Structure 1
Amino acid sequence: MGPVLLLAAVMAVDLPAAEVIRRYPAEEARQGVAADARHLYAVDNSRIGKYDKATGAKVGAWSGDPDRFPHINACVMVKAELVCAASNYPDVPMTSSVEVFDPRRMVHLRSIPLGQQSGSLTWVEWRDGAWWATFANYDGRGGEPGRGHQYTRFVRFDSQWRATGGWSFPAAVTARFAPMSSSGGAWARDGRLYVTGHDHAELYVLALPKGGATLDHLATIPAAIEGQAIAFDPGSPRVLYGISRARREIVALRLPPVEPR
């Protein structure tokens, strides 16, 4: 028998709370936020508001047909385009699409229909020449029989939206998603993945595993954002934006450092 390689379990740590450094009133702050160098984009199903980062003033908006765009959940800036995760939530069977916008003119450019996947697309990211997407599953409203919140999946696609890998979320994290799912996520510059649920005021720091198909849970950070979609500031690697649905605000946070594993 050959040598046996033992993989040490990753133990998550609790970190200090993220520091609130600014709040921006934004009427569309119901699903999430995206960011570029100068602007913030508040997302609300079939509406997106564009806000000046320096002044907080609203400088643009897009509004779509709610029947065609019932649930745009999260957006990210990729190569000067605003790329958004969308679905037919809470209708079933679940169908998903990626909706692409011109952030300068705030107009819709095109749709990438993904159809029926392993859940409902809630957020998407671009990194290392690949698309990374989370497909949510729910215990109740919007869910499908036999697939509860534990079935939420993180999937890697190539540039043509062909799946090239997939991971489950750790049980300790999906327990915090329940009965909903992951509503937001963003890659940090250090290669870690920061993820939110739907309601809890905390961030989960994850990493691709060195073996197996379940993401590693590195840390949990309390944060005043009540879950929902998030975005890193492109100019400040430890500044992250989230939203407060209750207060209709975009919240700027400074994250505590996460020690190398």
Structure 2
Amino acid sequence: MLSLLFLAKKKKQTLEESVHLIQQGDKKLNNELIEAYKPFIAKTVSVVCKRYIVASDDEFSIGLIAFNEAIQKYSPERGNSLLSFAEVLIKRRVIDYIRKQAKNPTVSLELQPDIGETEPRGTLIENEISLDEYRKKTDEELRREEIFRFQAHLKEFDLSFQDLVEQAPKHADARKNAIETARLLAENQELKESLFEKKRLPIKQLEELVDVSRKTLERNRKYIIAMTLIMSGDYVYMKDYIKGVLES
């Protein structure tokens, strides 16, 4: 950790710059960064588990792995910071782990009676219901957090949820076309960088890529930008919305 602080002071690196070096193969810096952010990892895992987490807990190990995954997968173009990305990924991986444990009676100790004891069937059912309610509550919290993050992201582009409600294409085919335009934009590195830098839709360049009129692009501008942000970011629940639109 001391070497990490020294390196940061010496080169005045941002966290994102350190991650870039790690992605280029700096394993030593990778280990130092994980060590430095163990308190952050433990705190994030504790939020999901609703209890104090220590290094010996399995959930903490899941958090460490998820944080390392975030380091390797992070890109500034996602539109959020490394820690925001890591927080979402850690919570997602820990929830997946909890769900897997709950489905496996051999490792779900809370659902198993002690050897030699007989636990009433009603108690087991109550535990199952409690776990299901916990999963639903956790999903709701993550969905709410994602909405707040997306709302803040929209604000950077001078957009709001109200804008999307008022200006979203009314017809299903029009929505699908707008989403397809957003997908092409998200996959085009040059155009996506232009969008994130200038905070406006590169309509002229898009005209050359899609079979949509300039008038239609301008009319659906806000919706296309919002869909591009979702596709370029870590918005799990929002992407489900896009999937639903395309499959409808």
TM range (shorter): under 0.3
Greater CA radius of gyration, 1 or 2?
2
TM-score (ref. length: structure 2)? 0.20
User: What is the TM-score when the length of structure 1 is the normalising length?
Assistant: 0.19
Kindly indicate which of the two structures has a greater share of residues assigned to helix: 2
**Going by fraction, where is strand more abundant, 1 or 2?**
1
